[in-house]
Amino acid sequence: MTARPLDGITVVSLEQAVAAPFATRQLADLGARVIKVERPGKGDFARGYDESVHGQSSYFVWLNRSKESLSLDLKSGAGRAVLDELLAGADVFVQNLAPGAAARMGLSAAELTARWPRLVVCDVTGFGSTGPWADRKAYDLLVQAETGLMSVTGTPADMVKVGISVADIAAGMYAYSGILTSLLQRANTGVAPAVEVSLFEALAEWLGSPAYYTEYGGSAPNRAGAEHATIAPYGPYPCADRETVVVAVQNDREWTRFCADVLADEGLATDERFARNSSRVANRAELNELIAARLAVLDTATAVKLLDAAGIANARLRTVPQFLAHPVLAGRERWQDVETPGGPVRALLPPATLAGVVPRMDPVPAVGEHSAAILRALGRTGPEIERLRAEGVI
């Protein structure tokens, strides 16, 4: 088998919930050895979010495959000694503890890089490690609120949160890419710059378009439900068979084809109410009535055939169960079984496909499953390990 890009890289992570585990799971996908340090007993609190996957949390199963779990009481001297031994041989350290917790434990980026200059230290915070909100806790919903994301998401009557943990995922993605960048810098210069990613600033970056639209356009984008706030027609329309097709017209050239080939009314293309995208957005209600009336007499298959023939991008509005059976995922063989303590589950392969590289898809660990093996590798004997277990250190 071809070597994976991060084979030989060791990551030690004091992680919980979503953001940091998402970053480190992606490192594990590329071959890194990820040692997940958990509290003895219940471990990462995300293990208890739900019991939907063979009695396990859907979040935890998604985010923690291919990792080793070491249960460790870091408030004990013996536990902290084990952590220091691991860090001495590690390439990357990741933490997303509560504000200030890592620094109080002597695990700040400045302290760690002073001891181990080649260690890539990645801190995932809520609102940054400095500044007026450094001490505030941050969870996904709170960050969606603070960035204004919720104010542009939903219907004109009701704002809503995004249905996935988008702030956590954004932070996890930037932590992942930041760690890879620091490893590259270390390879080139011998210096491993510390990485810090905050949930707030990660999601703030994703607000770029509405931020510019608001600052320089004079008003925020309107909440448009399942439609695009600033492009029309771009949204869902029911068909005669009660299924829904989503239409996405990107420019005036496509609009002309859409009118002729799908709506069967070439004159609409030059109607002053709809001739430009900004006009179509301003007259969205009238536009939607015309499109809805046409698609309401077509079944979904016919509507999709017309849209495809006209070169108009479209989609079927699917539910999550329908997504799980999606023909693209099956046709591209994107599913692979992964073992968990509760039994095997289907998992999607990582979305970045590297030619000739098989991603690592190893089991999801139980709490402390690898504690004894890790300690033996550090030179602890069987009796010493049992003593640590009896004392609640592991």
What's the Cα-to-Cα distance from 325 to each of 35, 54, 89, 330, rounded to whole Å?
33, 20, 43, 7
DSSP label at 42?
T
Rounded Cα gap, residues 145 and 344, in angstroms: 37
CA-based end-to-end distance of the chain: 35
In the set 54, 228, 326, 370, the catalytic residue is 228
Rounded Cα gap, residues 106 and 296, in angstroms: 64
DSSP label at 262?
I
Bridge partners, residue 197, by sequence: 124
Outline where DSSP puts E strands in the chain.
10-14, 33-38, 67-71, 92-95, 120-125, 195-198, 234-238, 244-248, 313-316, 335-338, 345-348
Note whether 255 and 201 are within 8 A (CB): no
Which of helix, strand or coil describes residue 154? Answer: strand
Note whether 183 and 91 are within 8 A (CB): yes
Rounded Cα gap, residues 50 and 164, in angstroms: 15
Tokens for 37, please give them.
């340090």
Count the neighbouring beta carbons within 10 Å of the beta carbon of residue 40: 19
Bridge partners, residue 198, by sequence: 125
Active site residue 228: yes
Please state the separation of Cα 230 from the chain's center in Å.
25
Nearest partner of 13 among 87, 116, 110, judged by Cα: 87
**Known catalytic residues?**
228
